[in-house]
Amino acid sequence: MERLNVNPTRMMLTTLKRRLATARRGHKLMKDKRDQLMKGFLELARENKRLREEVEKELAKVYESFSVASAVMSQEVLEEALMFPKQGVELEVSGKNVMSVDVPVFDYKTTASDSADIYPYGFASTSGELDAAIYGLSGVLPLMLDLAAKEKEAAMLAAELEKTRRRVNALEYVKIPQLEMTIKYIVMKLDENERGNQTRLMKVKDMILKEAIEEKRERDEEAYGA
Amino acid sequence: MYKIGVIGDRESILGFKAVGIEVFPCDSHEEAEKVLKKIAEEGFAIIYVTEQLYKDMLQQVAEYRDSRLPAVIPIPSKDGSLGIGMEGVKKSVERAVGADILFGGE
């Protein structure tokens, strides 16, 4: 791990120490966020999988009766029968905040006046299979809307989770070791300077002392001589 | 007030009309891409696309994946499921966790 290229000064040391504290706190927060997201996400993904399996199974059934219906009825009659739907779906989108990810929430209500009367055609010219297909379809619809919401939420959480995971790893394995290393380097350098200074002072003190003694001796000799 | 749409081959999606979903029959994925682009801007919150078309327009769908709306969701068509939808769920798990831990046994 490379240390940062900085001047080993006391000021830099203070700055780096502060940065390390921030990085540590950020790392802890990110880690908590990641764990929380992961918990929610795994549950969601399982639910997502289950829903999708169910929707695919149900839709296969619908298609089956629908293809029978289109086989026994002519294309024109089929299209005419479905031309003016009785049922509408009103979809409202609101948002909810999951770990600072703004995920959409779908609220829907069907606008059929009578839930038993969803067939937009008379029964005279259509086949029974079409009824079955439409009935099945209106049954799958809530599941499909649920699936859409879950799948969207899962995709968005996955993106957020990926980002958070990267950040946690970058802090843990790059940023924090780098800062620690640089701080250690600066501390060592400063200590080294301090020791250098100490010896220099001691040396200077010795020299001054020596000089003083020398001077004193000279003066004493002068006094004896006189 | 948002709308729901479905894009696919005529045979598969006609029935959706009866339950109040708007249908957009498309025969080729080029056509489907144009339609998707158009209706994504028109306030459709959920757009279902049959897997047969979905598999050729992944690039365009990816544009909508990280945005809030619309949700583009693959569904099987009358010819059966290609497993693309499941693949998507699996992908998002892989993306989030870094490894596939839910579907490992399959």
Between chains, do A60 and B81 touch, taking CB under 8 Å as contact?
A: yes
Q: Is residue B71 part of a domain?
A: yes
**Could you read off the pLDDT of B49-93 as tens digits, one per residue?**
888 888 888 777 787 877 777 888 888 877 777 777 787 788 888
Mean pLDDT of the A132-138 span? 76
Core vs surface per residue A76-111: b (16+ CB within 10 A) or e = ebbeebbeebbbbbebebeeeebbebebbebebeee
CA gap A218, B56 in Å, rounded = 104
- Specify the pLDDT at position B106: 45
Least confident of A35-44, A49-58, B96-105: B96-105
Q: Which residues in A lie closer than 8 A to residue B45 (C-beta atoms)?
A: 91, 93, 104, 106
- Domain hosting residue A73, numbered range: 24-164
- Domain hosting residue B27, numbered range: 3-78
Least confident of A14-28, A116-130, A162-176: A116-130
- Specify the pLDDT at position B102: 67
Mean pLDDT of the B9-20 span? 76
**Could you read off the pLDDT of A77-100 as tens digits, one per residue?**
767 767 676 667 777 777 788 777
What's the CATH code of the domain at B63?
A: 3.40.50.10580
Q: Is residue B29 part of a domain?
A: yes
Q: Is residue A2 part of a domain?
A: no
Average model confidence (pLDDT) across chain A: 84
Global confidence as pTM:
0.77
The three-state DSSP-derived secondary structure of chain B is CEEEEEEECHHHHHHHHHHCCEEEECCCHHHHHHHHHHHHCCCEEEEEEEHHHHCCCHHHHHHHHCCCCCEEEEECECCECCCHHHHHHHHHHHHHHCCCCCCCCC
CB B35 within 8 A of CB B24: yes
Q: Count the domains in chain A.
A: 1
Torsion (CA) B38, B41, B44, B45 in degrees, nearest 10: 130
Average model confidence (pLDDT) across chain B: 78
Q: Is residue B105 part of a domain?
A: no
- Specify the pLDDT at position A115: 58
Q: Count the domains in chain B.
A: 1
Q: Is residue A32 part of a domain?
A: yes
**Could you read off the pLDDT of A191-216 as tens digits, one per residue?**
999 999 999 999 999 999 999 999 99
Angle of CA points A110, B75, A158, to nearest 5°: 95
- Specify the pLDDT at position B105: 47
- Nearest by CB to A148, which of B17, B73, B89? B73
Q: Is residue A11 part of a domain?
A: no
Q: Is residue B17 part of a domain?
A: yes
Closest to A80 (Cα-Cα) out of A121, A119, A138: A121
What's the CATH code of the domain at A32?
A: 1.10.287.3240
Q: Within 13 Å of residue A14, how many CA atoms lie on the same side as its CB?
A: 3
Q: Is residue B106 part of a domain?
A: no
Q: Is residue B101 part of a domain?
A: no
Checking if the pLDDT of A22 tops 90, the result is yes
- The confidence band for A124, taking pLDDT boundaries of 50, 70 and 90, is low
- Nearest by CB to A158, which of B17, B71, B96? B96
